[in-house]
Structure 1
Amino acid sequence: MIMGMVMLMTFGLVDTFFVSLLGTDELAAISFTFPVTFTVISLNIGLGIGTSATIARYLGAGNAHLAREFGSGALMLSFLLVGLLAVIGFFSIEPVFRLLGASESQLVHIRDYMHIWYVAGIFLALPMVGNAVLRASGDTKTPSAVMAAGGLINAILDPLLIFGWGPFPALGIQGAALATMIAWIAGCVYILYLLVQRGLILPRLLTLSEFRMTSRAVLKIGLPAAGANMLTPVANGVLTAIVATYGAEAVATWGVGNRLESIACIVVLALSMSLPPFISQNFGAGRIDRVKEGYMLCMRFVMLWQFGIFLLLWLASPLIAMTFAEEQRVADLIQLFLMIVPLGYGLQGIIILTNSSFNAMHKPMSALLLSLLRLFVFFVPISYLGSRLYALPGMFVAGILANVLTALVAFLWFKRLLEEEHQLQQAQEVAG
């Protein structure tokens, strides 16, 4: 999963690198798109969580036919919902990005990028949910290979289409979006072929009654999970608007920092996709002791691992800053970001893994509430206060404080849930 996630996250990072070579305005423009594009991606992630939890349950119960039916229904549902969101986004580009603080000159580049990206987003839905079906069946290698192949295609096409190398036209920022779309179309075709070949979905469209039945079950977990994931880009949009008050250089820094964060937290993100099946299976088997053991092991590991990542980013910050910035002001801000913000990545890992563990325990509303607390009770208000008191450095430090408070709440909350489940299990054993 780590290898696949690394390649998936390189979509944004590779796009950012090549677009940064076009200039600061283009880099700022693609930075503005991050919270919006991640909203669409978050919907796919949520639907994938609901899909995986539901299908794994039926496969575990030995009901392969219902599992296939739910796989087909989840794919149809994701295509319809993401398609609807993409259409709405396509026709609301200007008001949304003006609200985020984009200038008229940046809007020109944003329109060029997002007009293509929204079409591409529809083709992302099927491989992401299809990968969730594969993971539910116990296969994590194939989804990783699909993500890796997509990232490789994107990385190869980016410079060709952005700068017009060889016979290709120079499309600028549009080329970055087009490269992404081609990569996702390739993944979409392959994953559908694979799911049908393995018999993990039905080789037909569902009837209306079948679609309603499967959609209800997937959305029961998927909607709260999608909502929790979609809160992150909403909060990021608010923070981007705050950062925009400090100029295009600050927005460019924020965009680079967000994409680097995706890579720096790749192990956490991979664990957030591999820990839930482990928790769900043991929870279903009544092994709360193993759920607790796996959860605590992951908490200790991510704190140590992410502290090592922080040290690495601190040491490499001058080189990274020079790589992603042509202007000295942008380079200085990127270096400042990397010397402060990554200190909180371990705490952020605790929050992310606890959130996914709530979903695995079939507590999607608890996961949603935790996301609300993290983003709109702690992260956004404290970051805003930090920016008002000490400008951008204050905002960076405030984010760490917000992660400390949220991680403490998340950890204690999940431990309490495990104790309650253990007591319930003991009561059922006595009654039985």
Structure 2
Amino acid sequence: MILGMVMLMTFGLVDTFFVSLLGTEELAAISFTFPVTFTLISLNIGLGIGASATIGRYFGAGQAHLAKEFATGALMLSFLLVGILAVLGYLTIGPIFRLIGASPQQLVLIHDYMEVWYLAGVMLALPMVGNSVLRASGDTRTPSIIMAAGGLINAILDPILIFGWGPVPALGIQGAAIATLIAWTSGCLYILYLLVVRRGLVLPRLLNLSEFIMTSRAVLRIGLPAAGANMLTPIANGVLTAVVATYGAEAVATWGVGNRLESIASIVILALSMSLPPFISQNFGAGRIDRVKESYLLCIRFVLIWQLLVFVLLWIASPLIAMAFAEEQEVAELIQLFLMIVPLGYGLQGVIILTNSSFNAMHRPMSALSLSIVRLFIFFVPVSYLGSLLYDLTGLFVAGVVANLMTAGLAFIWFRRLLKEEDYLQAQTTQGVTG
């Protein structure tokens, strides 16, 4: 899980690094795209979660034909929904990015990048859902290899297409999007070959309308809430990007670099958030609330210690990282400031993410959704905005840590209360059976 997610996240990080060599305006432009691109990726992630849960159930029940039918429907559904969203995004590039604070000069660069990236986003839909089909069938290795290969292709093509090489002209920021398009298209073609020809995990035909509607309902029943929860993050990030934009292109460039680095720095948290829920679900179903509590507390302690070590490393390496991602001194100083403050809250953010996953595992999806809303729109965005009003960018960075602290405390107390409730219910049930 860690390998696959690292390679997926390196797309944005590698793009950011090479685009940063073009200049501050280009770096600011690609930083503006992060909330929008992550929205499309969130839909892909949600559909993948829905597909995996649905298909895995049929594989486990020995109903291979139904598993193949639902896998085929999930692929068709993802291509259709992401395609529609991409078209809408393409038609509204100007209004959306003006809304979050892009300048006319940056809009030109954003158009160059996003016109290609939206097509790339559609090409990502099939590999992400296809990888979920592979995981549901018991293969966790191949999806990581596919994502790793895509990351390698992107990393090789980025400098060639951005800066030019031999007969290949320098395409600037658009070259980064083309590199991503080629990488994801390669993954799309391979995953379809793998699923249809080599593994036979999908039907060798398109579903008819009734089949498509039936499979789509099952996938969306799980996929839409998961996608919606994922989409809250880029929406909140878009609001804060607009706030940061009031401090100039240098601040936006810093914010973009920081967001990409955060994804890599939090990779262990994300991997745990995918591996802890099955453990909790199994023990919850077995009535072992004691083991649910033990595993939850163990993971909470681990992420707090782990992310504290990550924070120390980022603090020490902040001057080198800032120099790698910034040509201008002002941008380098802001990146260093970001890395010396914001990562202190990553462990607290890990508590929130793991609690959210645990709520879902305990069959409390509304609690998980409520926690996401409270985290982003009651604490993170308002507190960060207040910090920016009081102490500018430094205040915004510090306030983000404070917001994570408040939300983590609430999440921890909330989940512990749920465990006590389940303990009580279990005790009552046991007494009833004994009586």
Tell me the TM-score range normalised by the shorter chain. Answer: over 0.9
Say if 1:282 and 1:288, in contact at 8 Å, map to a contact too: yes
Code of the residue aligned with 2:315 in structure 1: it is W
Cα distance between partner residues in 1 of 2:427 and 2:160: 62
Question: Are residues 200 and 299 of structure 1, via their aligned partners in 2, closer, same or farther at CA, if it must alter by over 3 Å?
Answer: farther
* 1:425 CA displacement: 4.9
Write the deviation string for residues 189-236 of structure 1: whole angstroms up to 9, x where unpaired: 222222233343333222322222222222222111111110111110
Q: In structure 2, what is the equivalent of residue 48 of structure 1?
A: 48
Count residues with an aligned counterpart: 432
| Partner SS state of residue 165, structure 1 | coil
2:321 match = 320
Q: What does 1:335-374 align with in structure 2 at a 5 Å threshold?
A: 335-374=336-375
Q: Secondary structure at the match of 1:139?
A: coil
Query: In structure 1, what is the equivalent of residue 258 of structure 2?
Result: 257
Q: Please tell me whether the aligned partners of residues 302 and 346 of structure 1 are also in contact (alpha carbons under 8 angstroms).
A: yes
Q: Which runs of 5+ in 2 are unaligned?
A: none
Structure 2 equivalent of residue 417 of structure 1: 418
1:234 aligns with 2:226: no
The sequence identity of aligned pairs, in percent, is 79
Q: CA offsets per residue over residues 408-427 of structure 1, 9 Å max, x none?
A: 22222233334444544555
Q: How does 1:399-410 map to 2 (within 5 A)?
A: 399-410=400-411
Report the Cα offset of residue 86 of structure 1: 0.3
TM-score, normalised via structure 2 length = 0.94
Q: Deviations over 1:23-62 (max 9, x none)?
A: 1110000000000000001111111222222233333333
The runs of 5 or more residues in structure 1 that have no matched partner are none
Aligned to 1:76: 76
Aligned to 1:57: 57
Counterpart CA distance in 2 for 1:80 and 1:362 is 29
1:222–1:185 Cα change, 3 Å: same
Is 2:210 aligned against 1:223? no
Q: Residue 34 of structure 2 aligns with which residue?
A: 34
Which whole-Å CA distance do the structure 2 matches of 1:283 and 1:179 have between them?
45
Instruction: Name the counterpart of 2:127.
Output: 127
Aligned-residue RMSD, C-alpha = 1.8
- Is 1:192 matched up with 2:192? yes
Distance 2:25 2:316 in 1: 28
Q: Secondary structure at the match of 1:158?
A: helix
> Alpha-carbon deviation of 1:248?
0.5
Residue pair 1:136, 1:277 contacting (<8 A) in 2 also: no
Give the TM-score normalised by the residue count of structure 1: 0.95
Compared with structure 1, are the counterparts of its residues 56 and 282 closer, same or farther at alpha carbon in structure 2 (3 Å cutoff)? farther
What is the one-letter code of the residue matched to 2:211? E
Residue number in structure 2 paired with 1:156:
156
Take 2:207 and 2:363, find their aligned partners in 1: how far apart are those partners? 26
Deviations 1:318-370 (A, max 9, x none): 01011111111000000000000000000111111222233333433322211
Residues 241, 28 of structure 1: alpha-carbon distance in 2 compared, 3 angstrom cutoff: same
1:244 aligns with 2:245: yes
Counterparts of 2:328 and 2:52, CA distance in 1: 45
Looking at structure 2, the residues matched to 69 and 219 of structure 1 have their Cα atoms a distance apart, in angstroms, of 15
Q: Residue deviations 1:226-280, cap 9 Å, x none? A: 1111011111000000000001100000000000111111111122223333334
Structure 2 distance, partners of 1:200, 1:288, is 36
Structure-to-structure mapping, 1:287-326, within 5 angstroms: 287-326=288-327
Once residues 327 and 356 of structure 2 are traced to their aligned partners in structure 1, the CA distance between those partners, rounded to angstroms, is: 38
Q: Which residue in 2 is equivalent to 1:176?
A: 176
Other-structure match for 1:397: 398
Give the distance between the partners of 2:60 and 2:431, measured in 1 at CA: 26
**C-alpha distance in structure 1 between counterparts of 2:182 and 2:279, whole Å:** 34
